[in-house]
Chains A and B, each alone.
Chain A
Amino acid sequence: MDLIRFYVRKLFTVLKNEVIVLPSRVVVVVFFLFLLLLPVFTNNQYTLRIFTLTCIFAILAASWDLLSGFTGQINFGHALFFGVGAYAAAMSNLHVHLPPWASIPLGGLVAVLAGLIIGIPCLRLRGTYLALTTLAFPIILMGFVFAFPDLTGGELGISGIERIARSRVTNYYIVAGLMFGLCTIMWKITDSNTGIIFHAIREDELAVRASGVNTTRYKLLAFCLSGFFAGIAGGLYAHFMRIAGPSTLEVSMSFLVVIWAVFGGVATIYGPVGAVFILFPLLEFLRFWQEYRTLMFACVLIVILLYMPDGLFPWLRDKIETECPRCKIRNIATRTVCRVCSASLE
């Protein structure tokens, strides 16, 4: 009993000292509670299904950011990892009868392999050439899918895959939990020493090499890590939709990922995740406005790009928080002195 009381008190202290002080942390906690309580408030299968898909695409968008946002290796063919993950999970489930908890990580691993295979030729390329080359890879793979319909199901894809779990609510919780966990891992990676090198590679690759760091290795690492997380997203998608089809490899899928990330703010991880949570449900719920949907989508996007070139979420964050000029700690925008070093924030 004492132990419980101790932890409850500790939780309150952490909430008071670490969370309440920064609006962005409050937002993360509210977001977490929203995900946690969503099935309590709604039993609507349609809503749950949309938010499950949203979580899956949030992983995908964050994994693009890990590669392209951080290391600057702009990947216009991110659907490759997603599709490879989906097909690998589907095939291993259908033919080898691997359960989802094994086939989904397997999808991630096969996508790592794909990351290596496309990463090696892409190491020599930069900028536009890199973007165009990466764009081609999912198209090539789609060619293979159509060329061997016996193995891949061709146009129809592979169907009849096992569900992740029996009930929709369990499905939702598993996917949402994974989304939270994987995105935290990605954020931790970008916050680590490896993340600093990723950042530096985007800024000036030659200078990184002149600092004695093997940039080739780090770029490949970025391709593999990104592939892994995107592959897991693909595996989850296959098991959730119970089908892995060529739509996972489509060019529009690759572009959607880029749009989400740019909308939310690249090189942040939280930006693309937030963007998916706004754009994907919005697009779905606007379904009854079919004709205007794409038009509105395009308008919103242009407005964001024009007025918030760093993306929506970094812009919002700068509105509600200010950085202390002395100690670089973030403070709520209404404060006049820094909460740590008491420097003036004016």
Chain B
Amino acid sequence: MGEAFLEVMGLNKQFGGLKAVNDVNFSVAREEILGLIGPNGAGKTTLVRLITGILKADSGSILFKKREITGKKTWDIVNRGIACTFQNMRPFRRLPIIANVMVSCLSPRAMKRGEWVKRIEAKAMDALEFAGISDMALEDASTLSQGDLKRLEVARAIATEPELLILDEPFGGLSPAETELMAKSIHRLHKGGRFGRLHSEGPAMIIIEHKLQQLMKIADRIIVLNFGTIIADGTPVEIVNNSKVIEAYLGEGEI
């Protein structure tokens, strides 16, 4: 493993008496795709919200590129190079799709990196094209289907040209065909070169999923969260055979 790009140390978060995230430690390398799985309510979304500063951690620290980002504002963290998508999509419903993405393009980070692209619209269009919904750029976001909303989330996130991209259940609610397409896009994005031509390296990624299946093919490494604690950490093959993981998923049928 390369040196730590994102490092999470001793992270804790309680909601009332519920320990949603309980002493979590892990790290992500620059060139990695990390899968994060766990049953419903395991604390995956909460963990993402802690990393992106949407929620404040009770204790623990998060280092990004060796810099402390704990307690920083969300927009500041995004401008340092971490972008995330929302599990329950949050588009600006009454704005056209292209305007949804233009908001990201207007962030200081995107503006600084895209000087050579004169028009914000052109940049937003690039992101939409990458996500595969450029043909609907002028429609209102409220007209999009579930799958296309997921794509819009991805387009919005990559428009900030992140170095670490966190996708919260990008396959949730998608049909098998859509899932296949999305997985391809993600893989292509990770290889880089195509989007954000300034840095040909694609972003490191944390992909959150409910089930292991979809992650098997694209993730380099997987960590498993249950009741707010990490119960396993390893390659996809190691994870499928891990007895603790099988136990955690026992009530849910398949992994």
Contacts and interface: CB of A to CB of B under 8 A. Distances in A.
Contacts of A196: 95, 99, 102-103, 106
A199 interface: yes
A206 B73 CA distance: 11
Interface string B50-82: 001010000000000000000001111011000
B106 A213 contact: yes
Nearest to A207: B90
A199 B84 contact: no
Nearest to A210: B74
A204 B52 CA distance: 17
Given A193-B120, A200-B103, A206-B54, A212 B95 contact: no
Contact of B103 (A206, A208, A327, A328): A208
Contact of B86 (A193, A207, A327): A207
B75 A214 contact: yes
Contacts, number: 79
B108 interface: yes
Interface string A205-230: 01111111111000000000000000
Given A193-B120, A203-B94, A212 B79 contact: yes
Contact of B108 (A200, A208, A212): A212
A266 to B, nearest CB: 12
A152 B104 CA distance: 47
B122 interface: no
Nearest to B90: A207
B52 A210 contact: yes
A200 B75 contact: no
A212 B94 CA distance: 20
A197 interface: yes
B138 interface: yes
Nearest to A211: B104
Interface residues of B, number: 33
B211 interface: no
Contacts of A214: 73, 75-76, 108
Interface string B99-129: 1101110111110000000001000000000
Contact of B94 (A199, A208, A210): A199
B108 to A, nearest CB: 7
Contacts of A210: 52, 54, 74-75, 78, 83-84, 86
Given A203-B94, A207-B86, A193 B75 contact: no
B138 A327 contact: yes
Contacts of B156: 207, 211
In the complex, which of the residues A206, A207, A211, A212 has the most CB atoms of chain B within 10 Å of its own CB atom? A212
In the complex, which of the residues A199, A206, A211 has the most CB atoms of chain B within 10 Å of its own CB atom? A211
B75 A213 contact: yes
A200 B86 contact: no
Interface in A73-112: none
B199 interface: no
Nearest to B110: A212
Given A210-B52, A210-B86, A197 B103 contact: yes
Contacts of B12: none
A209 B107 CA distance: 9
Interface string B212-244: 000000000000000000000000000000000
Contacts of B103: 196-197, 200, 208, 211, 213
A227 to B, nearest CB: 23
A212 B99 contact: no
Contact of B92 (A200, A215, A327): A200
Contacts of A212: 75, 78-79, 83, 104, 107-110, 160
B86 A199 contact: no
B95 A200 contact: yes
B93 interface: yes
B144 to A, nearest CB: 14
Contacts of A199: 92, 94-95, 99
In the complex, which of the residues A206, A207, A215, A328 has the most CB atoms of chain B within 10 Å of its own CB atom? A207
B34 to A, nearest CB: 20
B106 A204 contact: no
Contacts of B99: 196, 199-200
Interface of B: 52, 54, 73-76, 78-79, 83-84, 86, 90-96, 99-100, 102-104, 106-110, 120, 138, 156, 159-160
Given A193-B102, A193-B120, 4 more contacts: A203-B94, A204-B90, A209-B78, A211-B156
Q: Which 8 A-B pairs have the closest CB atoms?
A: A212-B107, A212-B78, A203-B92, A211-B104, A209-B74, A207-B90, A328-B138, A200-B92
Interface of A: 193, 196-197, 199-200, 203-204, 206-215, 327-328
11 contacts: A193-B120, A196-B99, A196-B103, A206-B90, A208-B103, A210-B54, A210-B74, A210-B84, A212-B78, A212-B160, A215-B75
